[in-house]
Amino acid sequence: MCSGEWVAVIYDEQWFPGLVEQNLSGQLTVNFMARSAKRFIWPDIGDRQILHVNGVLCKIEPPYPVTSRHFVVHNNDAVDALCQQVLSR
């Protein structure tokens, strides 16, 4: 994964879209969006979650806006299904 790529990562038994900020020896720093039902939002700057992750569920296309604040992910249902498969193992 390279910085600037979009990924889906499982956190707290849900998946979230995130933008890879840095990749140092396979450890990713990812800036996550927050969940709002089946949509996602960028949290306020002070509430943004930038986490170090070891695994990525899958690469995704960049989320696209459906309102001025809410975004959706292309193939959202497919990513949901993949997440459930991984969590049920």
13 three-class SS: coil
Does the pLDDT at position 28 exceed 70?
A: yes
Q: Which pLDDT tens digit goes with each residue over 61-88?
A: 999 999 999 999 988 899 999 999 998 9
Query: Residue 49: pLDDT band by 50, 70, 90 thresholds?
Result: low
Which residues, 6+ apart, have CB-to-CB distance to 78 below 8 Å?
none
Question: Contact, 22 vs 29, CB < 8 A?
Answer: yes
Nearest to 22 by CA among 43, 47, 4, 46: 4
